[in-house]
């Protein structure tokens, strides 16, 4: 087995036993990036010099016997998370040359653990999209079939982990942007409870929905990374003060007696038969482990995508209003006055999908339409939260497909935004209700494309969903992509 395909747990053992050095491990990954990323296009910025400096510091910790679980582990970061001294572009011409003067809180936490940062990963522009084809710099491909999309917006993160171009990565999830690409690329992705991980230094898309989380080879690795990045942050006014824990502590305790909810609307019309069968077969495996499957309903699901796009676009229009070419961001060379300069800067700097959502958001917030659209979306948000609360009174976790289909070809759906938005039906409610969820691979279709299932938990129950995902992964043999 190629060393780059190993998990954090395995690499930790090899590093601590001196079977390989942090520098040698880093070299293995850069050799692979140079060999394959021209085809996959998962990276926007590769930070080779910084990575070897990180590896040297990590080796000192290892030699002193003071290595954390992530010490010396090569990771990569989605390009909307601020990294001091390293470009953070959000895959947009608007921020093409932006070099942050500070780190996001999650980066400070990971650097304290002495990770090796390999670079910054591609994404949909400003995290708006589900394909990573709206990136201005690197339109990422799916490692299982380079004619297909990797999903999005964290498509670079999922593709890089899937292709073993990093051991693990950070992504961000606003409506499924960690879980959907993880499903498409055959890896495991965790969206923590809203407020569990600081958003300070994450370039905002929709502030009430965004959450940073890990993408890795398996649930255990996701738990290790969550242990490092979770916790209160005084720089983030929405960060929770509730206590953190070891999110891997429940692994191996078994799921006998657990009640797993199966909401029938998630398995209805619009879900491909291959996807439905793979997830239901997985449910039967859980049943064989001693879990009880509970049929339930979530009637508001049919309105969820509409509510999500109204809320997220309204918040995006507000957040992106700061990019005017005056304070920072792309500045046009055209314009005879202040208003023309701003208009031209924004027109040139933003891509089509970002412009579409700004227009939709401003329309929903405008006088005469606020109550009809945004107000109703917020009311529906409370309804969705209530339906989840009702299910969790009876059940421990919820099992759903992560996506209605497997990864589609790059020339499909991209030109039809409504069709693409509807593909988020299985993921957006989790963000609307501020819940944690993890996606892991549960099967493959006839063409060998991965199928993902999501395990949704109660607020701050990350350890439980990680345990449930890990229990299935121990029964499942994943198929690695052939590059």
**What is 394-433 written as a DSSP string?**
T-SEEEEES-SSSPPBTTSSTT-HHHHHHTTTTTHHHHHT
pLDDT recorded at residue 35: 98
Q: Which domain holds residue 89?
A: 1-483
Quick count: other Cβ atoms within 10 Å of Cβ 227? 21
**Total structural domains in the chain?**
1
pLDDT recorded at residue 413: 57
19: tokens are 């079977």
pLDDT recorded at residue 421: 78
Q: What is the CATH number of the domain that holds 50?
A: 3.90.1300.10
Q: Which residues of the chain have pLDDT under 70?
A: 1, 413-415
Q: For residue 350, give every residue at least 6 positions away whose Cβ sits within 8 Å of its Cβ, in sequence order, or none.
A: 92, 93, 94, 125, 126, 320, 323, 358
For residue 107, the SS3 value is helix
pLDDT recorded at residue 90: 98
Q: What is the pLDDT of residues 218-247, one digit of tens each?
A: 999 999 999 999 999 999 999 999 999 999
pLDDT recorded at residue 420: 79
Our CA dihedral for 11, 17, 21, 22, rounded to 10 degrees, sits at 50
pLDDT recorded at residue 415: 64
State the sign of the Cα–Cα–Cα–Cα dihedral 200, 205, 206, 210: negative
Active site residues: 78, 153, 177
State the sign of the Cα–Cα–Cα–Cα dihedral 358, 363, 366, 372: negative
Q: What is the pLDDT of residues 364-400, one digit of tens each?
A: 999 889 999 999 999 999 999 999 999 999 999 999 9
Residue located via tokens 């439905």? 276
């Amino acid at each position: 087995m190629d060393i780059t395909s190993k998990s954090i747990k395995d690499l930790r053992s090899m590093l601590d036993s001196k079977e390989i050095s942090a520098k040698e491990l880093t070299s293995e990954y850069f050799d692979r990036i140079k060999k394959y990323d021209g085809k996959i296009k998962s990276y926007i910025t590769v930070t080779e010099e910084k990575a070897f400096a990180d590896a040297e510091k990590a080796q000192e910790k290892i030699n002193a016997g003071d290595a954390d679980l992530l010490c010396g582990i090569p990771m990569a970061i989605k390009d909307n998370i601020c990294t001091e001294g390293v470009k953070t572009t959000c895959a947009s011409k608007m921020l093409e040359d932006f070099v942050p003067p500070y780190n996001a809180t999650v980066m400070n936490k990971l650097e304290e653990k002495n990770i090796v940062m390999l670079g910054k990963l591609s994404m949909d522009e400003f995290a708006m999209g589900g394909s990573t084809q709206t990136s201005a710099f690197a339109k990422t491909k799916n490692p299982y079939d380079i004619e297909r999309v990797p999903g999005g917006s964290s498509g670079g993160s999922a593709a890089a982990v899937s292709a073993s171009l990093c051991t693990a990565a950070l992504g961000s999830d606003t409506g499924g942007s960690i879980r959907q690409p993880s499903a498409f690329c055959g890896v495991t992705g965790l969206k923590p409870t809203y407020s569990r991980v600081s958003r300070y230094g994450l370039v905002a898309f929709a502030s009430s929905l965004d959450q940073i989380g890990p993408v890795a080879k398996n649930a255990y690795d996701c738990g290790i990374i969550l242990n490092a990045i979770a916790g209160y942050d005084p720089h983030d006014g929405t960060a929770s003060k509730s206590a953190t824990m070891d999110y891997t502590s429940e692994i191996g305790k078994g799921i006998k007696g657990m009640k797993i909810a199966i909401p029938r609307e998630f398995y209805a019309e619009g879900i491909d038969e291959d996807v439905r069968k793979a997830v239901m077969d997985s449910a039967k495996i859980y049943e064989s482990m001693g879990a009880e499957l509970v049929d339930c309903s979530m009637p508001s699901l049919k309105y969820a995508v509409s509510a999500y796009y109204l809320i997220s676009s309204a918040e995006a229009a507000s957040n992106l209003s700061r990019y005017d070419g005056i304070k920072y961001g792309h500045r046009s060379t055209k314009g005879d006055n202040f208003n023309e300069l701003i208009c031209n800067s924004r027109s040139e700097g933003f891509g089509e999908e970002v412009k579409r959502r700004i227009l939709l958001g401003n329309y929903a917030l405008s006088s005469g339409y606020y109550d009809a659209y945004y107000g109703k979306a917020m009311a529906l948000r409370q309804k969705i939260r209530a339906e989840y609360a009702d299910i969790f009174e009876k059940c421990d976790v919820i099992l759903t497909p992560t996506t209605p289909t497997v990864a589609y070809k790059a020339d499909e759906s991209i030109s039809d935004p409504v069709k693409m938005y509807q593909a988020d039906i299985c993921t957006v409610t989790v963000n609307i209700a501020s819940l944690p969820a993890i996606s892991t691979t549960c099967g493959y279709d006839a063409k060998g494309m991965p199928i993902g299932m999501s395990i949704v938990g109660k607020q701050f129950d990350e350890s439980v969903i990680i345990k449930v995902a890990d229990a299935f992964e121990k029964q499942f043999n994943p198929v690695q992509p052939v590059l």
